[in-house]
Structure 1
């Protein structure tokens, strides 16, 4: 392997969650579509994910989005999402960041006003609506995955916590939804460390007791997410607000409320008959950042009622950088990266 390899990144964030957009330096991946390319990385070339989410290059709280050529002619680009928990097939905050990067990198030339295009995620095509004002990407609205409630108001005995009530939603991954107040939380920033410990205990207990299967994807792995729900306020007709916090196993409290977490909340609110199509839910994070989810309609697939939804937020560009991977650096695990990355020019 060459002693030095090179990657080009654009670091972005949406709601505080940093997404590292890898836009150059990775060789073409095998696979007939983006989902198969993701599975290749997952099972045969996981070194890129661990490299960019570990010291000295990154931390587990970040995410990585690898831009790849779209395999569907309707899409302008494909992207593969990598997080501490592995390879989610979809993520709202990562989609917001990737769509912004596609515009900032010129993959899609910016146009003033409303701009629409498609991205190809491992979950399939994603409609993007961008608002551009004076050359600035002011907001991105992306489709959330159709979401549903798998189980409602279950209880489990959690060591150190006692009996915990939770519901399970699917919105791109399986979520445990819990009432923050019932667990003694106000969802303020000073509670972040305790929220992580609490969520870890609940997820570990659920993982021991049961596994969840998607109605069409079947087994998608152990449950990775927990969403703490604050009280729901209703400041205007059809508009709802709630403090929220999303946990990713193992050990990460997201900086934003997350798009998939917001979609999971919409699924629960619809299940409880609290919202109708057109209603919105604004989720607010521990850091006071916000995403807006919109309930856009219902559909039926294979006997499952699905909540169609969209997520709106804003992403910011933090920097552009070239990452140099040194094979002789004792802190860097570079095994296998020589066949994936290009050598430094």
Structure 2
């Protein structure tokens, strides 16, 4: 038997077929969905997000959860856009994100490498419509290879600083609230006796979810100035100093239903830039380096200050690298009792 030769196996006509390219950015997975989702006529990305949430959520569950994914899988659905080169709908184990920096870096690399956008050296510009607004990304191209990606995020702003909340399981915590395409609570890890390392993985998830629940229930009310769909606390970000002298600090983000970001969290460090700016700790055009729980790094800086409704906001720039991990065609057999996926922890 020649095990390198396989008889052609084709899905039945009534099976759903989803084609993807998988990547990672800083260790955080990105499953980019290219074919298989239904498309709408002249819809905005927010309309796509609402449509997928209400009518196609079994596809998200099937792609993100086991047996095709896992509890920490992350995805992005590429859709047409009337306002940009293309649109993106972000998804995870619980639902749909409003912004994602690591996925923006990955999909920009894929768009340029795939020829959706003509590859131009040294920088190829890509305009992306995300649920939170328009993102401007730049692929750095050297000898026809995309070696890094940076993007200008939406206006990012501080909601509240130095807030205090008692959480029975954790005691009194101090936190900041800021927006970088999604709303985050920022907590110093040392205040909880935690380290942002792999040995504290489960403790960080547990504490992050308790803080998110506590703030959502008893903390500051979050209201996006223009879109009600964006008015919710997405995650908790723990901050600590880095042992690497070339790195400014470490970020660990716990989001959705207890997912822990392997990357430094692009939208999260965008919100951090707004906090640093509000505290007069960081000016424009000064690069910071933030590392993840794995030690992978994003660079970030404030491009400019802007007014965003009532908020004094900043336009962040975030820079990182993405890498391909595979190409897939997933099949959903309607007779499979686990076709919608499952989750075990």
Q: TM-score, normalised by structure 2?
A: 0.90
In the TM superposition, what is the alpha-carbon distance from 1:125 to its structure 2 partner?
2.2
2:127 paired with 1:127:
no
2:282 paired with 1:275:
yes
2:233 paired with 1:223:
yes
Tell me the secondary structure at the aligned position of residue 277 of structure 1.
Answer: coil
CA–CA distance in structure 1, aligned partners of residues 236 and 42 of structure 2: 32
Matches within 5 A, 1:29-178: 29-30=40-41, 32-72=43-83, 75-178=84-187
The runs of at least 4 consecutive aligned structure 1 residues that moved more than 4 Å come to 232-236
Q: Answer whether contact 1:34 1:71 (CA < 8 A) is retained.
A: no
In the TM superposition, what is the alpha-carbon distance from 1:85 to its structure 2 partner?
3.8
Which deviations, in whole Å up to 9, do the C-alpha atoms of 1:270-314 show, x marking residues without a partner?
111001111122111110101111111111132211111111000
Greater displacement, 285-294 / 54-63: 54-63
What is the root-mean-square deviation in Å for CA atoms of aligned residues? 2.1
Task: Determine the structure 1 residue equivalent to 2:210.
Answer: 201
In the TM superposition, what is the alpha-carbon distance from 1:90 to its structure 2 partner?
1.6
Q: Answer whether contact 1:196 1:251 (CA < 8 A) is retained.
A: yes
Q: Answer whether contact 2:140 2:148 (CA < 8 A) is retained.
A: yes
Task: Determine the structure 1 residue equivalent to 2:310.
Answer: 303
In the TM superposition, what is the alpha-carbon distance from 1:191 to its structure 2 partner?
1.2
CA–CA distance in structure 2, aligned partners of residues 104 and 234 of structure 1: 33
Tell me the secondary structure at the aligned position of residue 149 of structure 2.
Answer: strand
In the TM superposition, what is the alpha-carbon distance from 1:108 to its structure 2 partner?
1.7
CA–CA distance in structure 1, aligned partners of residues 315 and 71 of structure 2: 30
In the TM superposition, what is the alpha-carbon distance from 1:80 to its structure 2 partner?
1.1
CA–CA distance in structure 1, aligned partners of residues 214 and 31 of structure 2: 32
CA–CA distance in structure 2, aligned partners of residues 27 and 219 of structure 1: 22
Tell me the secondary structure at the aligned position of residue 224 of structure 1.
Answer: strand
2:301 paired with 1:291:
no
CA–CA distance in structure 1, aligned partners of residues 229 and 242 of structure 2: 32
Residues 1:295 and 1:93: Cα distance change in structure 2 (over 3 Å)? same
Counting matched residue pairs gives 329
Q: Which runs of 5+ in 2 are unaligned?
A: 1-11
2:17 paired with 1:6:
yes
Q: Answer whether contact 1:215 1:304 (CA < 8 A) is retained.
A: no
Greater displacement, 224-233 / 315-324: 224-233
Q: Answer whether contact 1:70 1:78 (CA < 8 A) is retained.
A: yes
Task: Determine the structure 2 residue equivalent to 1:186.
Answer: 195
Aligned with residue 214 of structure 1, among 213, 218, 224: 224
Aligned with residue 27 of structure 2, among 2, 16, 21: 16
CA–CA distance in structure 1, aligned partners of residues 77 and 300 of structure 2: 25
Q: TM-score, normalised by structure 1?
A: 0.90
Which deviations, in whole Å up to 9, do the C-alpha atoms of 1:76-108 show, x marking residues without a partner?
222111122422222111111111111222212
In the TM superposition, what is the alpha-carbon distance from 1:200 to its structure 2 partner?
1.3
Q: Which runs of 5+ in 1 are unaligned?
A: 335-345
